[in-house]
Amino acid sequence: MKIKVLPDVVINQIAAGEVVERPASVVRELVDNAVDSGATDVFIALEGGGHSRIRVRDNGCGMTRDEALLAFERHATSKVSMIEDLNTLVTMGFRGEALASIAAVSKIKLTTRSREGSIGTAVTFRGGKLVNVESVAWNEGTEIEVEHLFFNTPARRKFLKSPRSEVAKIRSWVAHSSLSRPNVRYRLVSDGDEILNLPIVDSIAARGSNVFPGDLTAISLREGGVRVEGMIGHPGQALSDSSGFVILINGRLITDKIVLRAAREGYDSMLKDREFPIGYLSITMPAEYVDVNVHPQKSEVRFRHPDQVFAVVRGAVLAGVRSIKRPLTQVVAAAPVVEAGPPLVASPTLAASSTGSNTVAAPSRFEWPIPAQQPRVAIEPIVAPVSNLATQVAPQSYQPSFFVESPPPVAYHEKSQAVANRDFRFQDLRYIGQLLGCYLVCEIDNRLVVVDMHAAHERVNYNKIRSARSKRALTVQKLLLPERVRLTPEQVEGLVEQSEALRELAFEVNQVDADTIEVQGVPGVLSHLDCVGVIKDIAAEPVVAGWRERLEERIDHLTARLACHASVRGGDIVNRAEAYALLQQLDEAETAGACPHGRPVVAEFPRDAVERWFGRDR
């Protein structure tokens, strides 16, 4: 086989295959160039999802006649002059390949006029060859029109997605990319219909509220030369893929595994292995800290100090997640259908059983706070319905002798007016009653508020256990008689492998033989539970690969399991005093808006939504 030099037309088409993958790739390159030109208004028009025509117009600096012709030469650019410039890039484009690559696989027309010029220039290429150059009357700025994409590479054309898919992809990219340029107006039209219009705003947060409607939590953190700002969603809004999470590095829209993993770890145990948050992060750092020249489509980067980026992102997200307290607002479209966003994950049905005779007696699992000045009301024991006694803790094992705060004697309407303009507080809710054995129904300020009592108590217990562990106050309660637990050999091996994590949580377990574990000690705060059941639950759960490198994450996950077992269950009856005490504890808890598994603790329904259920809006 002889070595030969490829013709220019083949070289250009190969290069185009790396840069131009689909119509969305063309839009990305042309919009990036428009932004680099200093444009404050970018207009994008599509026909047939971009298969037939793509038109991008801007009001940037424009080009002279000579520059318009030179722009189609490969590696012709105004943004890089020497190799050192790659270390300080602040522009979106820099290789000078975009126009040459697009021209090689389409018919393209560029019309432009520089700020200093009095007349414009129109240049037309077809399949990479110059067809026409002429002088035209034109306003300042540039318009590029791309027709018949991949007309000369039919094999590539037949792999294009449907026009609808391309429009969705382009709309998503434009909206996400616009987060880095709040000072630019973006308009997108498809087949004559305007589908996106993002006006100029004064901050990235304001642009974010246009792109991500709904209640998101703002985050901001700066350490060293790295700054992170953005907004993140409630863990209950998590998606099954990362399409709803936007990452910007120095204004460049990218995908990055390091940043995504740091963001997920910032949610503690509240996201499952295949769940991803929604929101966006804008990360800025000195240009020399990041290499953007590592991917043909410039959609990936390489960090000089990845550990520092990871730590700052995780810290920013963690602080934001722990501040989430507001309820998810449930929107009602028409009676009686309720549109409540992404489906919520069902609560685990892990039933507690009565404690064994070899465990040391401990206080009730309901450790409600003792009030300082309010009247004191004795708590009644939690008694499960008769039909559920087989799976509930025996009521006689609960003999609490402590007191909790009774609801303050203030009129609801006076109270709701006082809190109308303040941050959400659980203790300001007016408790109405218990619904379906698991939900606390409340109201405040013309809103119906529903609290999942199991998720709420789970959050409180999780925070207590985590706090005790961080303070080294999580003590081991020795069992009078060690308890042996029969498991499968695989489960025994998994528990032995996790012995370090279990010791951190004050469990003492030893392997007896291939299918038996002996429990010798349990966390003191949970000694009133059937901790053998807890061990079986932990053993039945598959261990994710690579957990040793993420030991803290695994311990948090196990902590969430313990908190779940220690919490009130659906079907348990709570009295009014206990309900108010739980609401008060939620105000003192970090991340009170979600349980340790990421499910919402509280949801609210505006009055107008409730009235639509019953047709009172008609």
The full DSSP string for 175-238 is: HHHGGG-TTSEEEEEETTEEEEEE---SSHHHHHHHHS-S--EEEEEEETTEEEEEEE--GGG-
Q: What is the pLDDT of residue 545?
A: 64
- Contact yes or no for 298/252 (Cβ under 8 A): yes
pLDDT tens for 515-547 read 888 888 888 766 666 677 778 888 877 666 666
CATH number, domain with residue 309? 3.30.230.10
CATH number, domain with residue 531? 3.30.1370.100
Please tell me the total count of domains within the chain: 3
pTM: 0.69
Element (H, E) at 511: strand 508-513
Q: What is the pLDDT of residue 367?
A: 43
For residues 218 and 192, membership in a common domain is answered with no
For residues 100 and 156, membership in a common domain is answered with yes
The answer to the question of residue 314 being in a domain is yes
For residues 247 and 272, membership in a common domain is answered with yes
- In degrees, rounded to 5, the angle at the alpha carbon of residue 360 between the alpha carbons of residues 354 and 361 is 65
Q: For 435, which DSSP code?
A: E
Return d(Cα 100, Cα 143) in angstroms, integer. 16
For residues 58 and 142, membership in a common domain is answered with yes
Reading the block at residue 616, the tokens are 């009172």
CATH number, domain with residue 38? 3.30.565.10
In the chain, which stretches have pLDDT less than 70? 1, 6, 8-19, 75-96, 293-298, 330-422, 525-530, 542-550, 618
Q: What is the pLDDT of residue 396?
A: 30
The answer to the question of residue 444 being in a domain is no
Reading the block at residue 475, the tokens are 């003590």
Q: Which of 145, 165, 198 is the last residue of a domain?
A: 198
Q: What is the extent of the structural domain holding 237?
A: 212-322
For residues 91 and 175, membership in a common domain is answered with yes
The answer to the question of residue 488 being in a domain is yes
For residues 231 and 167, membership in a common domain is answered with no
Q: What is the pLDDT of residue 380?
A: 32
For residues 137 and 285, membership in a common domain is answered with no
For residues 30 and 162, membership in a common domain is answered with yes
For residues 128 and 241, membership in a common domain is answered with no
C-alpha dihedral, 420 to 425 to 430 to 436, nearest 10°: 130
What percent of the chain has a predicted confidence (pLDDT) above 70?
75
